[in-house]
């Protein structure tokens, strides 16, 4: 499938800024012109400050944080960026709430197949609440196996159910749970490591590392290897990090034409100095300024899916904190705090949905895109020497 890659050109000696994310980054679904996307606006703000910046936009609508991490190698495809911007996780937390079923069928025995009327935003192992189906045996809380972006299966408690009828919905059950936050945080950390070390994506365990090409790198999400790999190091390769992985997340590098730890070596963790992009921003979810059901500072209401305690912002902030280093900063851009301050000071009105494309819709209009860009520029300007780096 062809994808639209936004490239905004400027001077020949440009510094590179690469942004990756979902539809909040991609933005062109809503009829915006290129100059209205937040990455392009960031470029303009930087250049007005004397920088020589060019932006690349790698947003893809509907992506979960796992899908973003799986293609985060794009950040280094054309060149190593001087700054990477990562905004993901919205689709992990079911931003659109429940999705309706186009069909819910008994594929065989106890296996039910749910086909949604749009992207379900889940990953294999997530939990969902099925409701509204007849027979009632289809309803309940289930662990899903994802088939494609709109289809998943789950196991029924009994066999013999006819295909379901009724207005059937699926609502992510893991929202706000420790497991959901941890999964999103891990995916965002993997995306950060892809930016830092030029990794091609991620695998679950070190045993899943494939036969590749010398020097290739992958993030291992659950590194349980006891020694960090046995393959000999050739000149120019990074030294192994020895000892047990302890189930942590590490980058492995390909050494020899063998799969697993016999052909690969563990080379980088969260505290390892980067070999590629050394300046990274993780964007925190914005303020849901809807007429009802969103964030409301006057009633101390926080939209539960995205809260900073056990929601999406908790995962985004934690990913930045864990991956941050004194000499290779990973910085959290708190959009919620920036937008809240605008409402408190009277610059914007509570409940006006003025920066959303529509009331109750998570997506941002052109004004909202400009606010994101301004918050990002402020974050960049606040860091020691970042503007000089981009000049």
pLDDT band at 11 (very low <50, low <70, confident <90, very high): very low
Cα–Cα distance for residue pair 391/387, rounded to 1 Å:
6
Q: Evaluate whether residue 190 is within a structural domain.
A: no
User: Within this chain, do residues 378 and 311 fall inside the same structural domain, yes or no?
Assistant: yes
Residue 193 lies in a domain: no
Q: Does a structural domain hold residue 185?
A: no
122 band by pLDDT with thresholds 50, 70 and 90 = low
Q: Which DSSP category does 370 fall into?
A: H
pLDDT of residue 10: 46
* pLDDT value of position 134: 92
The answer to the question of residue 183 being in a domain is no
- 206 belongs to a structural domain: yes
Confidence (pLDDT) at 333 = 98
Same structural domain for residues 379 and 295?
yes
User: Are 383 and 302 in a shared domain?
Assistant: yes
Band of pLDDT at residue 190, cut at 50, 70 and 90: very high
- Give the integer Cα–Cα distance in Å for 45 and 23: 22
Q: Does the pLDDT value for residue 98 go beyond 80?
A: no
Give domain status of residue 135, yes or no: yes
The domain in which residue 230 lies consists of: 199-268
Same domain for 301 and 377, yes or no, is yes
Residue 285 and residue 385 share a domain? yes
| Residue 113 domain flag | yes
Q: Looking at per-residue confidence, does 295 or 7 come out higher?
A: 295
Counting the structural domains of the chain, the total is: 3
φ, ψ of residue 190 to 5 degrees: the values are -65, -40
**Domain end among 240, 268, 296:** 268
Q: Is the pLDDT of residue 188 over 50?
A: yes
Split at pLDDT 50, 70, 90, the class of 94 is low
CB atoms within 10 A of CB 148: 9
Flag whether pLDDT at 210 surpasses 50.
yes
Mean pLDDT of the region 301-315: 90
Q: 385 and 283 in one domain?
A: yes
Q: How many CB atoms lie within 10 A of CB 86?
A: 32
Of residues 132 and 258, more confidently modeled: 132
Residues 10, 62 within the same domain: yes
Residue 380: the pLDDT is: 96
Q: Are residues 206 and 263 in the same domain?
A: yes
- Judge whether residue 264 has pLDDT over 80: yes
């Amino acid at each position: 499938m062809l994808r639209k890659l936004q490239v905004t050109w400027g001077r020949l000696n440009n510094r590179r800024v690469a942004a990756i994310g979902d539809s909040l980054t991609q933005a062109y679904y809503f009829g915006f012109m290129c100059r209205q996307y937040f990455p392009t606006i960031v470029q303009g703000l930087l250049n007005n400050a004397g920088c020589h910046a060019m932006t690349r936009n790698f947003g893809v609508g509907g992506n979960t944080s796992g899908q973003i991490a799986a293609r985060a190698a794009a950040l280094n495809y054309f060149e190593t960026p001087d700054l990477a911007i990562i905004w993901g996780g919205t689709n992990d937390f079911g931003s659109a709430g429940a999705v309706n079923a186009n069909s819910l069928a008994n594929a065989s025995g106890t296996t039910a197949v749910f086909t949604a009327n749009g992207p379900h935003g889940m990953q294999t192992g997530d939990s969902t609440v099925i409701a509204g189906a007849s027979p009632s045996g289809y309803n309940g809380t289930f662990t899903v196996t994802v088939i494609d972006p709109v289809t998943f299966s789950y196991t029924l408690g009994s066999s013999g159910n006819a295909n379901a009828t009724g207005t059937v919905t699926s609502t992510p059950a893991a929202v706000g749970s420790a497991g959901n936050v941890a999964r999103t945080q891990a995916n965002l950390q993997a995306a950060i490591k892809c930016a830092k070390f030029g990794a091609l994506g991620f695998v679950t365990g070190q045993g899943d590392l494939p036969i590749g090409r010398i020097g290739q790198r992958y993030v291992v999400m659950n590194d349980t290897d006891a020694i960090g790999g046995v393959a000999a190091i050739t000149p120019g390769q990074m030294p192994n990090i020895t000892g047990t992985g302890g189930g942590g997340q590490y980058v492995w590098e390909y050494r020899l034409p063998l799969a697993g730890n016999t052909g690969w070596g563990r080379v980088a963790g969260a505290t390892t100095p980067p070999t590629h992009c050394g300046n990274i921003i993780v964007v925190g979810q914005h303020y849901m300024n809807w007429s009802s059901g969103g964030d409301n500072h006057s009633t101390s209401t926080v939209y539960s899916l995205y809260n900073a305690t056990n929601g999406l912002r908790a995962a985004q902030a934690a990913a930045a904190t864990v991956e941050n280093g004194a000499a290779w900063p990973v910085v959290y851009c708190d959009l919620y705090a920036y937008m809240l301050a605008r409402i408190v000071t009277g610059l914007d009105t509570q409940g006006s949905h003025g920066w959303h494309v529509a009331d109750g819709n998570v997506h941002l209009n052109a004004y909202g895109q400009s606010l994101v860009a301004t918050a990002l520029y402020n974050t960049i300007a606040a860091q020691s020497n970042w503007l000089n780096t981009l000049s």
